[in-house]
Structure 1
Amino acid sequence: MGRPVTLFTGQWADLPFETMCEKALEFGYDGLELCTWGDHMEIDKADQAYCDARKETLAKYDLQLFAISTHLVGQCVCDRIDERHQSILPDYLWGDGDPEGVRQRAAAEIIKTGKVAKMLGLDTVIGFTGSSIWHMLYSFPAVSQEMIDKGYADFAKRWTPILDEYQKMGVKFALEVHPTEIAFDIATARRALKAVNYHPAFGFNYDPSHLGYQGVDYVKFIYEFSDRIFHVHMKDAYWSEHPMDIGVFGGHTEFGDNRRYWNFRSLGRGKIDFENIIRALNDIKYQGPLSVEWEDSGMNRDAGAVEACDFVRYSDFDPSDVAFDDAMQK
């Protein structure tokens, strides 16, 4: 199959950039999806010379680059800022911690990230948006639709100027649909698109692992948003068929606790139906990379990265160019 298999470096940001390149080559990947934390892609340092040097290092290891990811900074554009965000932001973005200042600096950094993508010769930035209304997920005390509308209006107000700049640059922003974001299932993805008036620079990074354990039809998502899937993460998750001590909300426990109803798993070891995902991606003619986001708290990550690469290559296949029964016709 022609789709390249890449590795998202977000879970490997403790390793230096070149070490990550060495490992990706050893693991068998075609390329990387570079995160913008650690030293993998440093937005504050990224002038054209820096970007050219990154591309030269990737070429040295015969690795391609299709996208960069800004999940941590993107989260802070719309979020209710507190001490959690200080732990994921560099000091120059956190500043004095004033919430509105953090949000505005994060928005400016997202625009700069689009410019860096352009310098790298890319057209896709992946990330989170944050959400001012995630804390209203469970409606008690009762949450009115007017309150939810205000959350989507806040998202539109903060992200439309960013998306306008991306459109000027010829770059797209792909939101990873995910709990804690303004879009976390099919219904909220529809609402997010409507909020930004179906902006051409706004779409999705498709990741089924965040949908499956919620009970969301993650294959339908592909068909529903076929023209808005700008990038694909390959990640697996397991959820129990039986009642557990800890439900779908996680019970204030850590990932990897086997009393939980669900956990992320190495590819092929969970419950995500990748067979039908590949068939759906073929149907919508998605030709971008399949980017492994490897997360499994119970497994060695190097071993997991190797088997995940092999699993994706095995799972992917070309669509047929003939009907199987054509040979039976006169």
Structure 2
Amino acid sequence: MKTIKGPAIFLAQFICADEPFNNLKSICNWAKELGYKGVQLPTLDNRFIDLKKAAESKTYADELNGLVKECGLEITELSTHLQGQLVAVNPAYDQLFDGFAPEVYRNNPKARQEWAVQQLQYAAKASRNLGLNASVTFSGALIWQMVYPWPQRPAGIVDDAFSELAKRWEPILNVYDECGIDLCYEIHPGEDLHDGITYEMFLEKVNNHPRACLLYDPSHFVLQCLDYLEYIDIYHERIKMFHVKDAEFNPTGRQGVYGGYQSWINRAGRFRSLGDGQVDFKSIFSKLAQYDFSGWAVLEWECALKNSEDGAREGAEFIKNHIIKVTDKAFDDFASSGGNEAFNKKILGI
């Protein structure tokens, strides 16, 4: 068995214009002081990583690794959530998602998608140069607006959508394979890959591509009322990344899964800081240890109530206390009777 690495922290929700959150060195020093051992990097802010340069220059990648290591940390993985979203966008969402791309690509869906695909390819090569083995992204969505079948979905449209999604992603997955990197889809509402069944539909379309892997985040499954523990049993061979994020679901007589268009703080389902929600992390860490998950336990802070810095500080200790240092021997070894093949045959009478 293997011991999960961590704690680590995803930096996306903390980056801003203020110290120590406005450059890589100072935010790494802040994370180290809180007890973190790794940082997961978003890839759209040049203050933290020049993605194109990291893809094309091993020297720059080594310098980036060196800076983080000087702070006593490691880079755990790269994130291309926002770029991945733009690989597949239904026209209904064009204007909303334009903000994820540089201004020059806005109001031009074709150019925006080409930019996103290039970004994903850069992330694969940058991950290789950084010595990483996994990266996280979103699948994007061509059919999310039809998640509830009213009006009735036209016959064949779901299959057509997933065929197109696979057509866009398979060449990207091939680049990741060439670079030796697992591309982990965060299964997430708003994406065409939002639960186990949709992931399986996609996996079939990409011919069970070995690099089409998963980031496990139980918070999204709490909000969907999905069994997040059985999910590990089913998909553990594909789970290569782990976001440690809490959530709660408290339905009432007025609202449930869909939330009634309410703000996050007023929804029945909402994200919480670690330890403040309903996720059974003891069972999750146990299952991941059982299945030899060897990646990082990465805090993703999202909470409508608690201050982000408090959430980060408490989260480091929470993850540290939940990581199971796996045993290297059986608990009943003290009672072993020894033996060999001849001894065993004698006992069996053969």
TM (norm. structure 2) is: 0.87
Q: Provide the residue aligned with 1:247 in structure 2.
A: 256
Matched ranges for 1:124-135 at <5 A: 124-135=134-145
Q: Provide the residue aligned with 1:299 in structure 2.
A: 306
Q: Provide the residue aligned with 1:42 in structure 2.
A: 50
Query: For the residues of structure 1 that align with 2:183 and 2:27, how far apart are their CA atoms?
Result: 25
Instruction: Give the letter for the 1:225 counterpart.
Output: Y
Aligned residue among 103, 123, 126 for 1:91: 103
Query: For the residues of structure 2 that align with 1:145 and 1:123, how far apart are their CA atoms?
Result: 40
Aligned residue among 227, 230, 244 for 1:217: 227
Query: For the residues of structure 1 that align with 2:133 and 2:183, how far apart are their CA atoms?
Result: 9
Q: Secondary structure at the match of 2:136?
A: strand
Q: Provide the residue aligned with 2:114 in structure 1.
A: 104
C-alpha distance 30-194 of structure 1, shift in aligned 2 (>3 A): same
Aligned residue among 276, 283, 306 for 1:276: 283
Q: Secondary structure at the match of 1:69?
A: strand
- Contact residue 245 and residue 260 of structure 1 kept, 8 A: no
- Contact residue 13 and residue 37 of structure 1 kept, 8 A: no
Q: Secondary structure at the match of 2:101?
A: coil
Task: State the 1:70 CA deviation.
Answer: 0.5
Task: State the 1:180 CA deviation.
Answer: 1.3
Larger Rg: 2
Query: Which one is further off, 10-19 or 267-276?
Result: 10-19
Gapped regions of structure 2 (runs ≥ 5): 338-350
Q: Secondary structure at the match of 2:126?
A: helix
Gapped regions of structure 1 (runs ≥ 5): none
Q: CA RMSD in A?
A: 1.9
Aligned residue among 266, 269, 284 for 1:262: 269
Q: Secondary structure at the match of 1:238?
A: strand
- Contact residue 28 and residue 71 of structure 2 kept, 8 A: yes
Instruction: Give the letter for the 1:43 counterpart.
Output: L
Task: State the 1:199 CA deviation.
Answer: 0.3
Q: Provide the residue aligned with 2:341 in structure 1.
A: none
Q: In the TM superposition, what whole-angstrom CA distance separates every residue of 1:24-45 from its partner, at most 9, and x where no partner exists?
A: 1111100100011233223244
TM (norm. structure 1) is: 0.92
- Contact residue 245 and residue 261 of structure 1 kept, 8 A: no
Task: State the 1:154 CA deviation.
Answer: 1.0
Q: Secondary structure at the match of 1:213?
A: helix
Q: Secondary structure at the match of 2:252?
A: coil
Aligned residue among 167, 174, 184 for 1:164: 174
Query: For the residues of structure 2 that align with 1:135 and 1:179, how far apart are their CA atoms?
Result: 11
Q: Provide the residue aligned with 1:148 in structure 2.
A: 158
Q: Secondary structure at the match of 1:77?
A: coil
Q: Provide the residue aligned with 1:23 in structure 2.
A: 30
- Contact residue 4 and residue 293 of structure 2 kept, 8 A: no
Task: Work out the number of aligned pairs and report it.
Answer: 325
